[in-house]
Amino acid sequence: MDPKRLNALVHDREAASYDDRFLISYDRGIGREVKRELSRAIGRPPRASRALDVACGTGYLAIGMASAGIADRVEACDLSVAMIERTRENAARAGAAVGLTAADAERLPYATDSFDLVVARGALHHLPDPLAALVEWRRVLRPGGTAVVLAEPTRSGERQVAAVVGLAVRAVEARARLARRAPDPSEAERKSWEIASMAANLRTFLPQEIAALAERAGFEVRSVGTASLAWILVLGLNYYLVGETRIARSRPARGAARVIAGGAAAFDRLVSDRVLPPAWRHTIRAVLR
Ligand SMILES: C[S@@+](CC[C@H](N)C(=O)[O-])C[C@H]1O[C@@H](n2cnc3c(N)ncnc32)[C@H](O)[C@@H]1O
């Protein structure tokens, strides 16, 4: 299947459960959280007149930027129409003004030089042609503007998540065998979607690969590096368990998962991001001009 069609199908289906699976909540803290994340990447508080969130998903960065007043105007786009609709609902709930367009990250429907901040979180690894996407992001960015690429998976990170989630899969299957549950007819279909979701992650990167692609696209690379370990392991586990078990979707379980994820993120800021070898960390972030 064409990888873009696969991505649109998978993300249309995932839109409803995405925020639970990735522990995103569009509450009052969202602006502060996104401002902190972008400040940490850029090295100073971000400020723009027009900002664009490419492959916005349910709107995490776009809504955060609008809520924090980082930009006078925030636009967001995604290939998945269901994700765009989800962003619309989340933005309305958060009281954030975000302009929304269904669009392919490799062919943006915006004028040249129209933004001074372009952000993309967890986007490049879903794209068949990341170089074409970066060329487009460079085109819509004004001279002197900043592009921030966040949360692209590293190879070692993917292997560690697969190992941890693999253990959870075995535990859930053993529990089902012990309970002698009758096979659920919807099980095979659900499993096929989970496999399709994995297939929609088209690639992993090394930091220097993203830097080389960005330079070929005409960017100057201000910084490129890796971050996070424990937080991504917790998110990977939560992603699997929310899809697999009803208990993980319950309110108390979601609350507990958020607390654990918060602790893991703090551990990463204090330990993983400072002490661990960069190659062990799970996500790549790059700041481009
Ligand atoms: C891992 S999610 C990240 C969403 C959001 N940026 C976040 O941080 O939560 C990847 C998103 O990329 C979108 N996507 C995949 N292929 C795309 C493409 N060719 N153009 C635009 N968006 C795409 C998906 O629909 C999905 O919403």
80 C-beta closer than 6 A to ligand 1:
yes
124 C-beta closer than 6 A to ligand 1:
no
Q: Which atom in ligand 1 lies closest to the alpha carbon of residue 104?
A: 20
Q: Is 162 left (phi over 0), alpha (psi -120 to 50) or beta?
A: alpha
The reported pLDDT for the residue numbered 199 is 87
Compute the distance from residue 230 Cα to the ligand 1 centre, in Å. 23
Map out the domains of the chain with their CATH numbers. 3-288 (3.40.50.150)
CA distance 33 to 72: 18
Nearest to 58 by CA among 82, 93, 30: 82
What's 284's DSSP letter? E
In sequence order, what E strands does 130-273 have?
Answer: 141-153, 221-227
Compute the distance from residue 49 Cα to the ligand 1 centre, in Å. 23
This prediction has a pTM of 0.92
Contacts of 188 (CB under 8 A, 6+ apart): none
Mind listing the pLDDT tens digit of every residue in the chain (289 residues)? 899 999 999 999 999 999 998 999 898 899 999 999 999 999 999 999 999 999 999 999 999 999 999 999 999 999 999 999 999 999 999 999 999 999 999 999 999 999 999 999 999 999 999 999 999 999 999 999 999 999 999 998 888 888 888 888 888 878 777 877 666 667 777 778 878 888 899 999 999 999 999 999 999 999 999 999 999 999 888 888 887 777 777 888 888 899 999 999 999 999 999 999 998 899 999 999 9
Q: How many CB atoms within 10 Å of residue 222?
A: 16
The reported pLDDT for the residue numbered 10 is 94
56 C-beta closer than 6 A to ligand 1:
yes
Query: Which amino acid appears at position 161 of this protein?
Result: V
CA distance 98 to 78: 13
The reported pLDDT for the residue numbered 78 is 98
Compute the distance from residue 125 Cα to the ligand 1 centre, in Å. 9
Compute the distance from residue 288 Cα to the ligand 1 centre, in Å. 20
Compute the distance from residue 275 Cα to the ligand 1 centre, in Å. 31
35 C-beta closer than 6 A to ligand 1:
no
The reported pLDDT for the residue numbered 98 is 98
The reported pLDDT for the residue numbered 285 is 96
